[in-house]
Amino acid sequence: METQILKTKTKDSSLKNFTNKEIGDDHLHSGLETPLKKDAFLISDDEKKKKISYLFGEIMDTLGLDLNDDSLQGTPDRVAKMYIDEIFSGLNPINKPKIALFDNKYEYQQMLVEKDITFYSNCEHHFVPIIGKAHIAYISSGKVIGLSKLNRIVQYYAKRPQVQERLTNQIGEDLKGILQTEDVAVIIEAKHLCVSSRGIKDDTSTTVTTFYSGSFRNQSKVVELQNYLKH
């Protein structure tokens, strides 16, 4: 069978010579939005769980596992529930956290930093974990949100098949809209198990991605933020 060539709307013609497999392995991605089918939510979560359970059972059977074994017989249902209710729950917009804005009554005009937000995501190329920490900073334009909401926004976007670049930008762009300010920064440092547990099997490397908007495009603000993160 011939390998399909990825069809893309990008203006960069250099991508035309890459295959689907090569692009996946090189961690390139096509845009800000998570690629979803138009009919992604036409069936209920319960229906999705039943279908995933059946199909995962087929995978286990193909691998030669005995689904009659006491330890394995419930695995397809457990995996289906985990996919829909937990690790990929961020795919469904109904699970997006409700965010309330408050007036900045304290008149705090400096950057607010929430650092070391632990998250678990999954690489969309091999469906193995991405484990990392996110650091978020913003400067209020008159509105603030509860600190825990920053964590919840990170978790929402992390709980879907991801690439780190997209995850970083999704968090940053959403926070700009929620907080009604351009002054937002997001830094993510993560370990990809598709790198450490397979392929090259490099267990020491990490990947860092950044999103700087508004005042954070100023080098002095970036240095100030990085100093906060060192402590």
Q: Could you read off the pLDDT tens digit of each residue along the chain, which spans 231 residues?
A: 333 333 333 333 334 444 555 545 554 545 899 999 999 999 999 999 999 999 999 999 999 999 999 999 999 999 999 999 999 999 999 999 999 999 999 999 999 999 999 999 999 999 999 999 999 999 999 999 999 999 999 999 999 999 999 999 999 999 999 999 999 999 999 999 998 898 888 888 999 999 999 999 999 999 999 999 997
Distance CA 41, CA 116 (A): 33
Any catalytic annotation for residue 107?
Answer: no
Q: Let me know if 123 is a catalytic residue.
A: yes
- Give CA–CA dist 59/83, Å, rounded: 15
Residue 125 designated active-site: yes
Please confirm, yes or no, whether 162 is among the known catalytic residues: no
Tell me if 140 sits within 8 A of 179, measured CB to CB. Answer: yes
Per-domain boundaries in the chain: 13-95, 102-230
Give catalytic status of residue 165 as yes or no.
Answer: no
Cα 151 to Cα 147: distance, rounded to the nearest angstrom: 7
CA-nearest of 90, 117, 124 to 192 is 124
Asked if 194 is an active-site residue, the reply is yes
Cα distance between residue 129 and residue 13, in whole Å: 32
Which residue out of 135, 155, 162, 164 is catalytically annotated?
Answer: 164
Topology of domain 13-95 in CATH is GTP Cyclohydrolase I; Chain A, domain 1 (1.10.286)
Q: Which residue is catalytic, options 22, 126, 182, 224?
A: 126
Nearest to 153 by CA among 106, 114, 189: 114
Question: Which two tokens mark 31?
Answer: 């845009």
**Which candidate, 231, 190, 25, 224, places its Cα nearest to that of 110?**
224
135 is catalytic: no
Topology (CATH) of 102-230: GTP Cyclohydrolase I, domain 2 (3.30.1130)
